[in-house]
A and B are shown apart, each in its own frame.
Chain A
Amino acid sequence: KAGVTQTPRYLIKTRGQQVTLSCSPISGHRSVSWYQQTPGQGLQFLFEYFSETQRNKGNFPGRFSGRQFSNSRSEMNVSTLELGDSALYLCASSHPTGYSMRNEQFFGPGTRLTVL
């Protein structure tokens, strides 16, 4: 099985622009989660989607949004970019059993976003 893929792998944007990141989960996985990783804040949860529904959202401003499509692929969008949005954005997929989050999450390689 192919792993979780994320595109693009690297992005350079300037302040005020917007960006869209894409994630393709492992085939058959219906849950997709997004995380932001920075040296200062570590790993922080952004949102989780299951069957096109956002089930939880982390403590990020409304500039951060996401969606999931019927084929489970997911996108996240950041509008009005700020310098502090520079980070590695990680996508993870899993095959949850009901409401359980006990199953392993499989991570993609991430998208490295640099905001100048």
Chain B
Amino acid sequence: GNSVTQMEGPVTLSEEAFLTINCTYTATGYPSLFWYVQYPGEGLQLLLKATKADDKGSNKGFEATYRKETTSFHLEKGSVQVSDSAVYFCALSQDSNYQLIWGAGTKLIIKP
């Protein structure tokens, strides 16, 4: 079946460090891929998405590229801020399946 695997957390970085959170998936065909973020005390919100191979999603300085050949959708940011501290979820969906399949989530802690 379909599944998403993302790196275990927590990930602790200093402010202005480079961030990578790995995400790989298993799915047939061509799923759409998403990164959602959950800030402390808030609901889930979409960070970025990509709907076909080689697409790059970007938002708020975060980027992720849909790599079909490696079945990956790694999240990156060049310089993190304390305000980026949150839990990040990688997810996939497929047409006619009507659901998001989630990774376990990665807690990111940014220290000043």
Contact = CB atoms under 8 A, between A and B. Distances in A.
16 contacts: A31-B98, A33-B100, A42-B103, A42-B105, A43-B89, A43-B102, A44-B102, A48-B98, A99-B95, A101-B32, A101-B93, A101-B97, A101-B98, A102-B51, A106-B46, A109-B42
A41 to B, nearest CB: 9
A99 B96 contact: yes
Given A43-B89, A43-B105, A107-B44, A102 B32 contact: yes
B101 to A, nearest CB: 7
Given A101-B32, A102-B32, A102-B93, A90 B98 contact: no
Nearest to B99: A45
Given A35-B100, A56-B97, 17 more contacts: A33-B98, A42-B104, A42-B105, A43-B89, A48-B99, A50-B98, A55-B98, A92-B100, A99-B95, A101-B32, A101-B93, A101-B96, A102-B51, A104-B49, A105-B100, A109-B42, A110-B43
Interface of B: 32, 42-46, 49, 51, 89, 91, 93-105
Given A101-B32, A105-B46, A58 B105 contact: no
A101 B31 CA distance: 9
A108 interface: yes
Contacts of A105: 46, 100
Nearest to A58: B99
B43 A102 contact: no
Contacts of B91: 43
A56 B96 CA distance: 9
A66 B104 CA distance: 25
Interface string A72-116: 000000000000000000101000000111101111111000000
